[in-house]
Amino acid sequence: MATKSPVGTTTTQASSRRATRSAAYRAEQERLAQFEQLARLVIKHRAALGISQEELARRVGTSYSAISRIESGRHKTSVETLQRLAHALGVRLVVGFESGSVDRPVRELVSA
C-alpha cells in the first residue's frame, strides 16, 4: 500500500485535476497564461540582478505589493508599468502584433 504525502498533492497535480473537471477553470488558466509568462520574465531578470522585490519596487517607483502582484502572474499590467519595469531591469520592452498562421507567424514589433 502506497503512503500518502503528509502535505497532500502538489499544486501542479491539483491544478491538473481541476482543469480536467472544469471548463471554467481551464478558461481562466488560458486567460492568465500571458500574465504568468510575463511574471516569469520579471522574476528571471530580477533574480539575475540579485535584487529583491522591494528593491525593484524602489527602482520602478511603485510599491512592493504592486511588484508582488505582477510576479504572481494573476494581474494585468499597464504598458507604462511595463516600460518602467524594463528600465529598472536594464532591458528593453518590445511590443507588437502577430498575424498569419501559428506555424508561420508574421510579427511586427516596436521597441519601447
The reported pLDDT for the residue numbered 6 is 55
Q: Is residue 46 part of a domain?
A: yes
Question: pLDDT confidence of 74, banded at 50, 70, 90?
Answer: confident
The reported pLDDT for the residue numbered 61 is 97
d(C-alpha 25, C-alpha 18), whole Å: 7
Q: Is residue 9 part of a domain?
A: no
Domain coverage including residue 58: 22-111
pLDDT value at 54 more than 80: yes
| Helix H or strand E encompassing 110 | strand 105-111
Do residues 49 and 58 make contact, with C-beta atoms less than 8 angstroms apart? no
Question: pLDDT confidence of 60, banded at 50, 70, 90?
Answer: very high
Cα 28 → chain centroid = 14
Q: Is the pTM of this model over 0.75?
A: no
What's 42's domain CATH number? 1.10.260.40
Give the number of domains in the chain: 1
